[in-house]
Structure 1
Amino acid sequence: MTAIDRGTGRGIDRADLVAVVGTGTMGQGIAQVALAAGHPVRLYDAAPGRASRAADAIADRLGRLVAKEHLTAADRDAALGRLTPVADLADLAESELVVEAILEELDAKRELFTALESVVSGGCLLATNTSSLSVTAVAGVLRHPGRLLGLHFFNPAPLMPLVEVVRGAATDETAVDRAHATVAAWGKTPVRCADTPGFIVNRIARPFYAEAFRAYEERAADPATLDAVLRGSGGFRMGPFELTDLIGQDVNEAVTRSVWEALSHDPKFTPSLAQRQLVASGRHGRKTGHGWYDHSEGAGRTAPHTAEPCEPPGKVALHGDLGPAQGLVGLIEEAGIPVTREPVGSHLALPDGTRLSLADGTTATGDPFAASVRFDLALDYRTATRVALAASMAAPRSPCGPRSACSRRSVRRSVWSRTSPAWSWPARSRCSWTSPRTPPPARWRAPRTSTPPC
């Protein structure tokens, strides 16, 4: 019997055995998801003793869920009763689904699946959790490549709902249907996708990381400031530096390099030299105690750069409209600052003539108007808690300090500085200065006719 004979649109049964090969962070997380769905689960790892240690780690996590009253002690005990670490690949023979979560190396994955094919039944689904390798290439060495597909979970697997269900060139459609239904029954959100470099999420995410790392390399700002701006202005839950420290710099850099190579070295996917140096130095993020940030015991959180407060101006002139930043005008008026209007332009002007305009990919120093400040695009200026500013060298300096400009007043007050080229932001907001010599990364900016990015 083959995988395609098991029916269309129906996942594996709850009583069916799920095996996870590779017991690192992702393997443990996937095993926990399958346990939570009621399956018996077997863990295998080529390193002696590692599967048993992974089972202990899963037990610890389930214990913490019980302590937080997110799981009953009875359910924990039942789940642990279904979890079995094994030391021999042959112990996976009864599996209906095997999910591989080993190191991201094509030859290693091919070797594993070739061995598995001689162990499991013809109806067993085989899935790789690869985040960037070709599913087609992984399956290419199998006698029956139609039953192998990609199931790409995201870290941490028990919490992240999305799972990419990747169909390789030789994958049977019914195998995809069966895997999709299984993942949906696990309470996840499965998304079908083709076997393209990076699939969906990792392909889209590459420029998010790359532009941030490039801005750091060009000394636009430090990691803490860039992360804070993307959280407070862009609406992201985590910035790229803290996120890659969580993922692992080695893992993230390997995915970037894989996508870059698969797309014929497209410049927008070029790996970061700074990140490569982190990997080479063993600073892989939280798991090693150091990455972009220091995660050692007792290390404090790095503070982002924040401008000092200043007094608001007496009035502001709006020239034309600000496109996607037009909402700022209402915030200024709500703060009690008079706004005059001129028909031509796309900027704000302070009483001293300093021009404030939305970042458009050019530098503040390249502005033909000497005294100028670029401000960043925000997902929602009313709720934004931080915004990035870049001033030209000729922009006036405030009495609060060189190019300081953020003044915090009451909630939902947008206050401009009287003698400097910037303002405070609503609702506990702050401003972060970036280097005026570095162009704002163009791919962070939305066209004036578009909606702000999310």
Structure 2
Amino acid sequence: MTALPRSAPVAVVGAGAMGAGIAQVAAQAGHPVTLFDAAPGAAGKAREGILANVARQVEKGRLPEGAREDVAARLEVAPALEALGGAALVVEAIVERLEVKRQLFAGLEEIVAPDAILASNTSSLSITAIAAGLKHPERVAGLHFFNPAPVMALVEVVAGLASDRRVLDTLSETAREWGKQPVLAKSTPGFIVNRVARPFYAEGLRLLEEGAADAATIDAVVREAGGFRMGPFELMDLIGHDVNFAVTRSVFEAYFHDPRYRPSLTQQELVAAGWYGRKSGRGFYDHAPGAVRPVPATLPAYPAPRAAAVEGDLGPAKPLVALMERAGIAVSRRAGAGVIRLDGASLALSDGRTATARAAGGELEDLVLFDLALDYGTASRIAVAAACQARPEALTQAAGLFQALGKAVSAVRDVPGLIVARTVAMLANEAGEAVLTGVATPADIDRAMTFGVNYPRGPLAWGQDVGPARILRILENLQATYGEDRYRPSALLRHRVAAGQSLHTGMEAEALSL
């Protein structure tokens, strides 16, 4: 596999934010770049913006002296589409309308050399459909950058049905030479990131609708326990609800209304109101100047327990044992089903059932469930929910335990799966389904989610750490509780559990089928 040589001319069609960003990346990498936009003056304005951006990066010490002059020497504006004839690679970044893109590529095919590569930066349209009807559809592929292109590391290289493997390899190596992290995906709705990320938003929205907690509390738990940089509501406000809702609807419709991707009525209402988030000044949060940020619900301080009994294996929550001992709590150990016993409370990690349903058998009196954490040692917050049968002091004892370990405690409604456990299980399941259907390899899926949307761990690697059997159990319990196909476990997950095989590290040999 070889990348395009630095001397190979690159053309970008579309001088909006994405097109300008891609042009900047290619020019900084050393290619001569031509930028074209059908709107008069748009390409020239974009060139000025690119040079100003490069100059700012030089001032901040992020780029070397002379970088602006180097980019200026390589970057030119085309007066017409015909001026792109010498390009070895043309990247399209125009409006997300299939017919407009097809017309553009048909015109480009008549202009560029027979061996030139034609790439689309589409985030949602089928590469197969874009290339259909061309004389040489094999040279068309997706090259999906993330915004802002000069900053974001991920690039999805997307294969349509006719895409030549050599074209895909060249694009992957070229993106790598440009300092990016390329991943290879089959042309399916949402590719990797926009498909696998859907549960992150969907479960947050559903938890809010079910009254599990308010948006600020859910966001805080996802950040401070789950290790995500932003909670779902913060992130949707940043992206824009008009954009996020449109992507969800697009994926839902493209998958023939699969309930896994069903849009939220709550988000639909925000869009109808024009409450798009930061860009409109209001979304789930008030973004007006001087607006007071809501604080997450946090329990007051309670006494720490003197002793705790750990029964059986706590699974992913095993680090709590060392934390309790370090906090001066006397810990005894005995056989059991993974429960922490206090004088007046039984604590257990969520398994997808409600605390009330789990306590109904009578074996776990005064039950309080606690949520999954990315790292119990560093997590600064934990979510807990008490069973309806539990006495009030069970919750205060559970809070006192976690507070003694240095955690803020948010008591949430007794919902199935709590917050982080439910979200991680759904992300791992969606990633597994993408592997099963040949969208991408496990390694590329995890790389896409860490570099593309800054997840603290790839969903498959995270699911493996939690335990595939535990992930499966959470999903089965969610599906049993709700009676919805939305929570159906992937056949790949079932197979891996039955075979005792890994969700991630045991599957490197599985290649993308093109």
Length-normalised TM-score, structure 1: 0.85
Counterparts of residues 300-319 of structure 1 (less than 5 Å): 300-319=292-311
1:35 and 2:15 equivalent? no
SS in 1 for 2:409: strand
User: How big is each residue's C-alpha offset from its partner over 1:82-116, in whole Å with a ceiling of 9 and x where there is no partner?
Assistant: 33344533333332212122233322322322232
Contact 2:304/2:397, CA 8 A, preserved across alignment? no
Distance 1:16 1:136, change over 3 A: same
Distance 1:56 1:392, change over 3 A: farther
Separation in structure 1 between the aligned mates of residue 20 and residue 219 of structure 2, nearest angstrom: 28
- What's the counterpart of residue 255 of structure 1? 247
- CA apart distance, 1:377: 0.9
SS in 1 for 2:76: strand
User: How big is each residue's C-alpha offset from its partner over 1:245-270, in whole Å with a ceiling of 9 and x where there is no partner?
Assistant: 33333333333223222322221121
Q: Which amino acid aligns with 1:250?
A: D
Contact 2:310/2:331, CA 8 A, preserved across alignment? yes
1:444 and 2:435 equivalent? no
How many aligned positions are there?
428
Contact 1:218/1:438, CA 8 A, preserved across alignment? no
- CA apart distance, 1:271: 1.9
Distance 1:356 1:36, change over 3 A: same
* The 10-residue stretch of structure 1 (444-453 or 368-377) with the greater mean CA deviation from structure 2: 444-453
Counterparts of residues 19-34 of structure 1 (less than 5 Å): 19-34=11-26
1:177 and 2:156 equivalent? no
Larger helix share, 1 or 2: 2
Counterparts of residues 203-218 of structure 1 (less than 5 Å): 203-218=195-210
SS in 1 for 2:340: strand
- CA apart distance, 1:137: 0.9
Separation in structure 1 between the aligned mates of residue 396 and residue 79 of structure 2, nearest angstrom: 62
User: How big is each residue's C-alpha offset from its partner over 1:290-346, in whole Å with a ceiling of 9 and x where there is no partner?
Assistant: 433333444454433322222212222222232221211221111111123342332
1:103 and 2:95 equivalent? yes
- What's the counterpart of residue 362 of structure 1? 353
- CA apart distance, 1:78: 1.9
The Cα RMSD (Å) is 2.8
* The 10-residue stretch of structure 1 (68-77 or 16-25) with the greater mean CA deviation from structure 2: 16-25
User: How big is each residue's C-alpha offset from its partner over 1:354-387, in whole Å with a ceiling of 9 and x where there is no partner?
Assistant: 2211111111233325632211111211111222
Q: Which amino acid aligns with 2:235?
A: L
SS in 2 for 1:332: helix
Counterparts of residues 364-403 of structure 1 (less than 5 Å): 364-366=355-357, 367-368=359-360, 369=364, 371-397=366-392
- What's the counterpart of residue 18 of structure 1? 10
Separation in structure 1 between the aligned mates of residue 43 and residue 277 of structure 2, nearest angstrom: 23
Length-normalised TM-score, structure 2: 0.75
Distance 1:139 1:234, change over 3 A: same
- What's the counterpart of residue 474 of structure 2? none
Distance 1:97 1:296, change over 3 A: farther
Identity %: 49
Distance 1:48 1:246, change over 3 A: farther
- Which residue, 181, 184, 189 being the options, matches 1:192? 184
- What's the counterpart of residue 52 of structure 1? 44
Distance 1:282 1:176, change over 3 A: same
Separation in structure 1 between the aligned mates of residue 6 and residue 281 of structure 2, nearest angstrom: 39
Distance 1:344 1:404, change over 3 A: closer
| Structure 1 gap ranges (5+) | 1-8, 407-415
Q: Which amino acid aligns with 2:165?
A: E
- CA apart distance, 1:430: 1.9
Q: Which amino acid aligns with 2:177?
A: A
SS in 2 for 1:365: helix
- What's the counterpart of residue 120 of structure 1? 112
Separation in structure 2 between the aligned mates of residue 47 and residue 222 of structure 1, nearest angstrom: 45
Separation in structure 2 between the aligned mates of residue 108 and residue 278 of structure 1, nearest angstrom: 30
- Which residue, 415, 419, 434 being the options, matches 2:412? 434
Separation in structure 1 between the aligned mates of residue 292 and residue 99 of structure 2, nearest angstrom: 41
User: How big is each residue's C-alpha offset from its partner over 1:189-211, in whole Å with a ceiling of 9 and x where there is no partner?
Assistant: 22222222322222221222221
